[in-house]
Chains A and B, each alone.
Chain A
């Protein structure tokens, strides 16, 4: 049980690091996916430990949500790339206070 959770925490930390350190939108995106899946892993392992199927159902919802997110996110990235010829998020810093 705790191994699964440790793995989940590790994956989450790697994902978080990726989100914070990468500049390319694609890589940030992949890191976010990693974080989502680490969360899934945690959900599934809790579900199994407590014998409740709710956690597994939640994991399925997260997967469906992630798929939708990928579709929208990639679409945005492609559109931005067409205009800017770059996917670096630091180039997209016009909305500042």
Chain B
């Protein structure tokens, strides 16, 4: 029951605000929505303290229970979703102040939380799929929240359609699992896979297809194009859905299915490769962006790449650790960006910012904490989790050193663009025309909490020989992977190395974007990066435009067919008109016709 309440409370908020929210006065819908998510958070917390819970309807579909499970993994993820979600709800009360769709916004947000918790708590793949599609819908609704502008509506559609490509993979993966094992309950599948020695061949394909679903949802190469455009939505949405929670659903799916992937070395290798490519792509694209939110969006893609790198090399708990720290600092970065945008009356171009340190002292601190944590500044949350991922790649038997070097290089780039974001927004001289004003308390206090998380969350899991709470906590829900531990000296040497790399990146970024004149080759790179390496253009030319042409051809054929059918319909309507005189309306005529018919039948009968 408690489990159901976790989902039903936000859903209730969605129904209530959706139906009656218009009659409520301004802060009230926000307060209701936030309170419901807060209660959900407490329920998850108490459920976890009470040792977990589960709930199910057996044989909802044959072999598929409608089941919810609160174990350490889903509880961990649930705490991140509802906790960060609660803070962002509170922030949004200030951010959405005066918006026409105030209550609609909170209805959607609550719907998102309900669906996300369905996804997280799901005990079988179809239930997870319900949540999976639900968050996709919520994402669509919220990206296109200001739907009167065509750009926003287009972005919403783009996100939805791109996600659908991945979802198709998820569906097919489920179908293969079901036809192989006759069950889709995650617990049962885990039991089967852990006890049987022979693995069906189709398992690899199923794992790959599930990963395709994750690629779509988590904006990995090649389905990453929707995430930057998703920034068209209000900033709290970007923070909640497109940074902290929904996009990490793919990582969660892989971690949930870790018992599957631990047996699939080849698919895991593929995941790691996609992850590192995405990380590099995101970091390179983030460098050239001029939109304050798009920098953060590309950095999200890059960080998601890191998470997939981690699950690819089998470091499942580290991926989830990074999910948590990333949720803190990325939500913080987005909300700080939102605060800046709010202060400047909607301005998003960082070329018109600068020097905001003086005007927005509080937001400046938030931005600094977020950027440094993202950059991997030593001892901050982002440092510990990212370093754990990069170090874990070294233990990977198949080309670990290559992954390590690539991961470290991307970390270097990350530090540079994080510093660029910070320096161009907060340092230097103010270049805009609007008088900036600091955001209200309702927006800064959630950011304070997130900033604390972005700074200190890393201390939950420190490398050997220091304490680590996250790994033993998550271990029972994840597949067991033999890790070859490296010597302490080497480990701490590597940690120092990655700290040096981060600091060097920060220094270089600081010097490059405040002091030096940028060299010519960089400006060329800048143009490429600004356009995200023209991936959209390539997709348009190679896929979308040919498809449009094909659609036009089919449209032509369709109109030809229509002409034929119209002619056919014309014949029968002409016949109808001609026959209509029979219906004269005189009863006697009908009577006479009946008699005539009778006579004809009689005569025919007799003659036969």
A residues contacting B by CB (< 8 A) are 16, 19-21, 23, 28, 89-90, 92-97
Are B588 and A89 within 8 A (Cβ)? yes
CB distance from B572 to the nearest CB of A (A): 15
Q: A89: which B residues are within 8 A, CB to CB?
A: 586-588
List 13 additional A-B contacts (Cβ < 8 Å) besides A90-B588, A95-B583, A95-B585: A19-B591, A20-B592, A20-B595, A21-B588, A28-B587, A93-B585, A93-B586, A94-B585, A96-B584, A96-B585, A97-B582, A97-B583, A97-B584
What is the bound-complex CA distance between A59 and B583, given in angstroms? Answer: 33
Are B591 and A93 within 8 A (Cβ)? no
Cβ-closest chain A residue relative to B584? A96
**Number of residues of chain B lying within 8 A (CB) of chain A:** 13
A-B CB contact pairs (8 Å), 24 listed: A16-B595, A19-B588, A20-B588, A20-B591, A21-B588, A23-B588, A28-B587, A89-B587, A89-B588, A90-B586, A90-B588, A92-B585, A93-B584, A93-B585, A94-B585, A95-B585, A96-B583, A96-B584, A96-B585, A97-B579, A97-B580, A97-B582, A97-B583, A97-B584
Residue-wise, chain B 322-334 has the 8 Å CB interface mask toward A (1 for contact) of 0000000000000
Q: A20: which B residues are within 8 A, CB to CB?
A: 588, 591-592, 595
Cβ-closest chain B residue relative to A31? B591
B60 at the interface (CB under 8 A from A): no
What is the bound-complex CA distance between A97 and B576, given in angstroms? Answer: 9
Are A92 and B583 within 8 A (Cβ)? no
In the complex, chain B residues 562-582 whose Cβ is within 8 Å of any chain A Cβ: 579-582
Cβ-closest chain B residue relative to A21? B588
What is the bound-complex CA distance between A96 and B581, given in angstroms? Answer: 8
What is the bound-complex CA distance between A97 and B579, given in angstroms? Answer: 8
Q: A96: which B residues are within 8 A, CB to CB?
A: 583-585
What is the bound-complex CA distance between A21 and B595, given in angstroms? Answer: 13
Q: DSSP majority for the B interface?
A: helix
CB distance from B333 to the nearest CB of A (A): 74
What is the bound-complex CA distance between A19 and B579, given in angstroms? Answer: 24
CB distance from A80 to the nearest CB of B (A): 12
What is the bound-complex CA distance between A19 and B591, given in angstroms? Answer: 8
In the complex, chain B residues 193-226 whose Cβ is within 8 Å of any chain A Cβ: none
Q: A92: which B residues are within 8 A, CB to CB?
A: 585, 587
Q: B584: which A residues are within 8 A, CB to CB?
A: 93, 96-97
Cβ-closest chain B residue relative to A96? B585
Q: A16: which B residues are within 8 A, CB to CB?
A: 595
What is the bound-complex CA distance between A96 and B589, given in angstroms? Answer: 11
Cβ-closest chain A residue relative to B595? A16
Cβ-closest chain A residue relative to B582? A97
What is the bound-complex CA distance between A20 and B586, given in angstroms? Answer: 11
Cβ-closest chain B residue relative to A32? B591
Q: A28: which B residues are within 8 A, CB to CB?
A: 587
CB distance from B583 to the nearest CB of A (A): 3
Residue-wise, chain B 579-608 has the 8 Å CB interface mask toward A (1 for contact) of 111111111100110010000000000000
Q: B587: which A residues are within 8 A, CB to CB?
A: 28, 89, 92
Q: B580: which A residues are within 8 A, CB to CB?
A: 97
CB distance from A88 to the nearest CB of B (A): 10
Of residues B579, B582, B588, which shows the largest number of chain A Cβ atoms within 10 Å of its Cβ? B588
What is the bound-complex CA distance between A95 and B580, given in angstroms? Answer: 11
What is the bound-complex CA distance between A91 and B582, given in angstroms? Answer: 17
What is the bound-complex CA distance between A28 and B586, given in angstroms? Answer: 13
What is the bound-complex CA distance between A93 and B589, given in angstroms? Answer: 11
CB distance from A97 to the nearest CB of B (A): 3
What is the bound-complex CA distance between A92 and B586, given in angstroms? Answer: 7
CB distance from A84 to the nearest CB of B (A): 14
What is the bound-complex CA distance between A20 and B582, given in angstroms? Answer: 16
What is the bound-complex CA distance between A16 and B592, given in angstroms? Answer: 9
CB distance from B576 to the nearest CB of A (A): 8
Q: B588: which A residues are within 8 A, CB to CB?
A: 19-21, 23, 89-90
What is the bound-complex CA distance between A19 and B585, given in angstroms? Answer: 16
Cβ-closest chain A residue relative to B579? A97
Q: B579: which A residues are within 8 A, CB to CB?
A: 97
Cβ-closest chain B residue relative to A95? B585
What is the bound-complex CA distance between A19 and B65, given in angstroms? Answer: 70
CB distance from B39 to the nearest CB of A (A): 66
CB distance from B595 to the nearest CB of A (A): 6
Instruction: Report the 4 A-B pairs with minimum CB-CB distance, sorted nearest first.
Output: A97-B583, A96-B585, A97-B580, A93-B585
Q: A95: which B residues are within 8 A, CB to CB?
A: 583, 585
Cβ-closest chain A residue relative to B581? A97
CB distance from A6 to the nearest CB of B (A): 17
What is the bound-complex CA distance between A26 and B342, given in angstroms? Answer: 86
CB distance from A92 to the nearest CB of B (A): 7
What is the bound-complex CA distance between A92 and B592, given in angstroms? Answer: 17
What is the bound-complex CA distance between A17 and B582, given in angstroms? Answer: 21
CB distance from A86 to the nearest CB of B (A): 14
CB distance from B580 to the nearest CB of A (A): 3
What is the bound-complex CA distance between A28 and B587, given in angstroms? Answer: 10
Cβ-closest chain B residue relative to A23? B588
CB distance from A64 to the nearest CB of B (A): 24
CB distance from A76 to the nearest CB of B (A): 12
CB distance from A25 to the nearest CB of B (A): 9
CB distance from A61 to the nearest CB of B (A): 22
CB distance from B597 to the nearest CB of A (A): 13
Q: A97: which B residues are within 8 A, CB to CB?
A: 579-584
CB distance from A57 to the nearest CB of B (A): 25
CB distance from A46 to the nearest CB of B (A): 18
CB distance from B585 to the nearest CB of A (A): 3
CB distance from A29 to the nearest CB of B (A): 11
Q: A94: which B residues are within 8 A, CB to CB?
A: 585
What is the bound-complex CA distance between A93 and B592, given in angstroms? Answer: 15
CB distance from A42 to the nearest CB of B (A): 15
Of residues B580, B586, B595, which shows the largest number of chain A Cβ atoms within 10 Å of its Cβ? B586
What is the bound-complex CA distance between A20 and B592, given in angstroms? Answer: 6
CB distance from A52 to the nearest CB of B (A): 23
Q: B586: which A residues are within 8 A, CB to CB?
A: 89-90, 93
Q: A23: which B residues are within 8 A, CB to CB?
A: 588
Q: A93: which B residues are within 8 A, CB to CB?
A: 584-586
CB distance from A14 to the nearest CB of B (A): 14
